[in-house]
Structure formats: C-alpha cells, structure tokens
Structure 1
Amino acid sequence: MRLVVFTDLDGTLLDHGSYRYDAAAPALATLRRHNIPLILASSKTAAEIAPLHAALGLGHWPALVENGAQRMVPGQPPACDDYPRLRAALNALPRELRAGFRGFGDMDAAEVTALTGLPPEDAARARDRRFSEPGLWSGTESQLARFLQALAAQGLQARQGGRFLTLSHGGTKADQMAAIMSDLGAEQSLALGDAPNDAEMLQTATRGVILPNPHGRPVPPLPGEVTGHITRSTLPGPEGWNAAVLAHLSDLGFPET
C-alpha cells in the first residue's frame, strides 16, 4: 500500500500569520523517512510554491498551484498563460458588479503585502499569476450572487479560500488527485485543508482532515463527516496538521521513530 498526502498551505501546513511550518517538523520528518509523497495543493502560484517545495525537499513530486488549475513539476517549463483571458472576462462584467471585486491584478505589490503579511518579494511572486485571480469582495451578499452568475456567463468560476475569493476558468485540486495517485502508484490518500476551496479535495481523498480556520470562512459540513472518512481537528495550522498526519501514519503502521 502506498500513501500520498495532499495538503493545503495557508492556515494548514503553514501558520496563517507567520507562514512558518516549524510545528509540523515531526510529521514532515516521518513522511520523508517512509518516502511518502507530500503534494502541496494551494491557491498560491508556481512562483510562490517553488521555493517552499525546494525547502521541504520534495524533489520531483508535483504540486498543485492556483487551486489546482495547474500542476507544477520541478524542472519542467510552466504551462501556457491563461491570466490575460481571465482578466479580460472579469473586466467585461457590468460595472456595478466589477466594482465589488478587487483582485491581485488591481493591486500593486505593496497592497498585496499589506493584505497578506508577505514580504515584498513574496508578494511579487503572489502576483505572478497564470490561471487564477484572488481578490476581496466588498459588495453585499445579494450583489455577490449576481456577480457569481455574471462570472458563470463569462465561463469563470469562483472559490472561497481562507483569505480570498479566487476566480478561474475551472480546474480544482480534486480534479488532479486521481491522475497524481495513478502516476505515483498510490492506493491511499490523506488530504488536509482549512477552507471551502479544499472541500472537494477532502471529499475525494481516502481520509480527510479539516483544520479550524478562525481567520476566514470555515469548511462547511461535508457528507464525508457523516461516514467518518473526514474528521475535524481541534488544533489549527501546522500544530493540528502535525498531530493529524502523525495519527494517520500511526494508524496505517508508519511509526514516527
């Protein structure tokens, strides 16, 4: 039996405020010891994920970037750039609806830094987008419903993450999972996330763990919680991630030491 672990980043493996993963070190070391693939799956861009991927020593394992719209494979050139088409579709929306959404493409690096707490160089990487547009919604809930309808008419989808509402032409973390598991010869999967845009990934995995999200919209109740294949951690961020991964590895016979 081979296990693959799929994980969201912000608020899950990474602390929401500091973006550090120190508290997850024991579980990360155990995954490395047993050669269990760790697949990063985030709304972050390839430019953002590449340094973290290298720091974690994940080798040639792929990562899912921009909410699964692209699969990043170290050493391979990036896929084609769909971002200009996305921005054009967004800007074609009625003015009163477009005014309620402020995306990264409407901001400079300083504003992204202020919103996220990222250093300027990381904020620049966050704005280096190819497939999706995260942003903030400032309108009412009724306006949001009309905004989402107008997006759909333009072929765009919106997914709520832990911080931002992210627009794309489609593609999810869950869409990529089966192909990656097949490529890696895996039979079991564990997924961890903290935001609504992780729901499909959590539902698709053999086991899913929801981390609490005190800073944004939490993951809504999921059918898998009734069947028991999805559980909720009481600990947030990398501390909860560490405990959940170690517990699952122990259940499957992969000891920590």
Structure 2
Amino acid sequence: MLSLDSSLLIVSDLDGSLLDHHDYNWNAARPWLARLKQFRIPVIICSSKTAAEIVPLQEQLGIAGSPFIAENGARIVMAGEATGTGAPAAAYRALCRSLQALRSRFCFTGFHELSDADVADATGLTLAEAHLSRLRDASEVLLWRDDEQRLEDFRIALARHGLALTRGGRFWHVMPEGCDKGHALIWLQQQLEQQEGKPRITMGLGDGPNDIPMLTRVDYAVVIKGAGTKPVVLPRADEEHVYYTTLAGPEGWREGLDYFLLNPAMGARAEDKQ
C-alpha cells in the first residue's frame, strides 16, 4: 500500500468532497485528517472557495498554515502569505466589468451583484461565511439564468475578454484564461520541491468537473461520487491509479483514502513509482 511514511501529499477539493455538499460537515474525514497530521503528511486544499473562506476552514480542519489553492486555481497562497485586505481585489473588479459588458447578450447573476443574505440563501452558508465567499481575488461565481444551449456562445464571448468558464459542484465560475486547479497544482508542486529538495507522491480527491485538471495531474486520483447527474470520468490510461467512490462527500473522501492507504495492492505500485 501507499505508505504513510512516504513523501505523500494530499490535494483535496472542499465542497462535495472533504465537506458535505449540503451541510458542509466533515465528521467522516476527522480520523484520516488526524492520522495524516500525525504522520506529517500535508493536506493541500484545492478549491473554488476564496482565500478568505479557506483560512478559517484550515483552522477548523487542523491544517492551518499549509499552502492552498483558491478560486479554482486563480489564487495560490503559500505558507505564511497574507490573504487580503477584507475587500474584493482589483483584478476581480476588472473581471466583473468585463462580465458587465456581456449582460446585454446573456442572462446571469454574479456574486458581486448579490448581498451576503442572497448568497447565504443560494448556498446554505451562514451570513458570515457568505460574506467571506464574496471577498474574491480573481474569479467570479455565476448563477446561469439563460438557456443551457447558450453556454458555448458565452464561452466564446468570455474568451474575447481573456476569460474562461468552468463548472463547479453548484455554480459556474469565470476566471482568467490559463487558470485551473491543474496548472495551479503544478506550480505549487514546483515551489514545494524547491523548498524541500525532493518531489512528493500526490493523491488528489475531488467530485466536480472543475477538479478534472487537478485529478489528471496527481499520481493517484480519487473521484468522489458527486451530486450532479453526470459522473466525472477522468481521461487517464492508468486506471489502477484512479478510484471512483461509491459514497459522496466526506464519506467518499474517507473511502478513497481507505482504498489507497489501506489496500495492500497499492504497496508494490507505490514502490515501483519511487
């Protein structure tokens, strides 16, 4: 099996993965989080959430101070880095102005147009959590109110503004072109390798289409059963390094770690890679 003593790095999505899709609890993941901390195996959050949301979550999860990837890869925060001033960033405001130019052609609502109460109603977050979700640095969350058939036209229009569109677990996300969880992970791995002087074996866990770029780049991928009608299928040939869970949310998160870290068949494969 993959060894808890190995140079392992866990990369995890939040909503619908480590956190329950409906009530955001993570009770089923507690034992594994404690065990990973005991063996000093880093857990890197890789989420569509903002940096302002992730920092207090890291405190709750017992992984405070670790690097993380926010806003689907549009924001990377290294250990000890400051995470903002309590207001939306200039890059985010510029992105929203670009979206405004498309309002005459497409029907959508961005988080910047909503109040904290509106976001809380749409997401199930508390008012305080909803406020943090609106402190964005470089991407926007959209409630798509147009015909689904017009999404491709919307992608083309966004591209003319240097923007891209991706689907998360609940909403659509707009970000600068070239930003995704996979590219962000590669950059973060390079930084960690320079600091530590060695590469790490990576295991990624996620449930949504926006997790695919990350899950295709990790050594071992756990695709957690999602809430959507279309299951996520990875374009990978190494099927033995991919596991599709039968359970959703933190229960699926635990199931994936059980499979790769408690499965004797993983041992020889991990040793071959090392």
Normalised by the size of structure 2, how large is the TM-score? 0.85
Contact 1:195 1:217 in 2 (8 A): no
Equivalent of 2:99 in 76, 81, 90:
90
Aligned counterparts of 1:48 and 1:6: Cα–Cα separation in 2: 17
The 2-side partners of 1:198 and 1:225 are apart by 17
- Does the C-alpha gap of structure 1 residues 176 and 211 become closer, same or farther in structure 2, counting only changes over 3 Å? same
Q: Please report how far the alpha carbon of residue 29 of structure 1 lies from its aligned counterpart in structure 2 after TM superposition.
A: 1.3
- Find the residue that maps to 2:173 and give its secondary structure: strand
Specify which of 38, 46, 63 is matched with residue 41 of structure 1. Answer: 46
AA in 2 matched with 1:143: R
TM-fit CA distance, 1:218: 4.1
Q: Which amino acid aligns with 2:151?
A: L
1:248 and 2:263 aligned: no
Query: Is this contact kept in 2: 1:189–1:206, CA < 8 A?
Result: yes
Question: How many Å apart are 1:219 and its aligned residue?
Answer: 4.5
Q: How does 1:2-151 map to 2 (within 5 A)?
A: 2-78=7-83, 81-93=90-102, 95-97=104-106, 100-151=107-158
Aligned-partner residue type, residue 203 of structure 1 = T
Unaligned runs of 5+ in 1: none
Partner-residue secondary structure (3-state), 1:6: strand
Question: Which amino acid in structure 1 is aligned with residue 45 of structure 2?
Answer: L
Change (3 A) 1:208 1:129: same
State the Cα distance separating 1:59 from its structure 2 match.
3.7
SS at match of 1:234: strand
The residue type equivalent to 2:99 in the other structure is L
Report how far residue 142 of structure 1 moved: 2.4
Moved more, 118-127 or 183-192: 183-192
Residue 178 (structure 1) aligned with residue 191 (structure 2): no
Matched with 2:3 is: none
Q: 1:195, 1:218 within 8 Å by CA — same for their partners in 2?
A: no
Letter of the 1:236 partner, please give it.
A
> In structure 2, the residue corresponding to 1:211 is in which secondary structure?
strand
CA distance in 2, matches of 1:148, 1:13: 29
Contact 1:194 1:218 in 2 (8 A): no
- The count of residues paired between Structure 1 and Structure 2 equals 251
| TM superposition shift of 1:84 | 1.0
Question: What is the alpha-carbon root mean square deviation over aligned residues?
Answer: 2.0
2:219 maps to 206
Runs (5+) with no aligned partner, structure 2: 1-5, 268-274
Name the TM-score, length of structure 1 as normaliser: 0.91
Task: Name the stretch that deviates more: 242-251 or 228-237.
Answer: 242-251
* Cα deviation, residue 131, structure 1: 0.6
Cα distance in 2 for residues equivalent to 1:75 and 1:115: 32
- 2:207 is aligned with 1:227: no
Q: Is the 8 A contact 2:243 2:256 kept in 1?
A: no
Structure 1 position 78, deviation (Å):
3.6
* Cα deviation 1:41-86 (Å, max 9, x = unaligned): 1010011001011222224320100111111235322476410110
Would you say the 8 A contact 1:44–1:66 is kept in 2? yes
SS in 2 for 1:40: strand
**Does the residue aligned with 1:61 lie in a helix, a strand or coil?**
coil
Secondary structure of 2:72's aligned partner: helix
**2:237, 2:207 → 1: CA distance?**
14
Contact residue 161 and residue 217 of structure 1 kept, 8 A: no
Indicate if the aligned counterparts of 2:69 and 2:185 stay in contact, CA closer than 8 A.
no
| Secondary structure class of the residue paired with 1:223 | coil
Q: Answer yes or no: is the 8 Å Cα contact 2:66–2:78 preserved in 1.
A: yes
Deviation for aligned residue 1:192: 0.6
Distance 1:29 1:246 in 2: 14
